[in-house]
Amino acid sequence: EFALRYVKTTPLHVPTLGSAEDTPDLVLNDANNETSHVMVTDADNTLGGKLKKAFCEPGNVAHCPPIALAVEVALAYGEGAAPRQLVVPSKGAEPQSFGSGAQLQAAFAAGTLHPGDLKPAVRDAVEAVLQRVRAHVLADKELAAAEKEMQKVHKRMTSKK
């Protein structure tokens, strides 16, 4: 609630998610802690570690958080005009380009897209979107103050006593 009060003052579209239980594909792992969700306030180097640990079973498109992030963040809010593309470099092969979640899921299900190639591409694409969001937050004095306050509260709540 605290953050939403400040987010409403920005020109950014804020998707509404009820809770992690309502959006299981966006939960990265079953740790049920700060490593299981992507936060706007995460440091730049945090997303890579979270995605590296994310559940991503080869061929399993029924539950694949990296694909869900690619669709819900990178393809929806990535740079450039729609249709946006997610370019996935591959070791020893030509990069693959995906313009939709259906294309991404089909390649993953067929085994032509490996989790080791997917995760870094999703990390980079999502990080680019988060950088733009963070820039808006820092440019707004109230949002920047709210972020600092949230960091203080988080630090107090997670510090060992």
What's this model's pTM, rounded to 2 decimal places?
0.71
CA 150/CA 148 separation, integer angstroms: 5
If the chain, 161 residues long, is cut into consecutive pieces of 10 residues, what is the mean pLDDT of each piece?
46 43 52 61 75 89 90 85 84 88 95 93 90 84 84 79 56
The DSSP annotation for 150-161 comes to HHHHHHHHHS--
b vs e for 2-28, b when ≥16 Cβ sit within 10 Å of the residue's Cβ?
A: eeeebbeeeeeeeeeeeeeeeeebbbb
Greatest extent of the chain over all pairs of C-alpha atoms, in Å: 52
pLDDT of 103 reads: 95
pLDDT of 58 reads: 93
> Does the N-terminal peptide bond of residue 24 adopt cis geometry, omega within 30 degrees of 0?
no
> Both tokens of residue 74?
């990178």
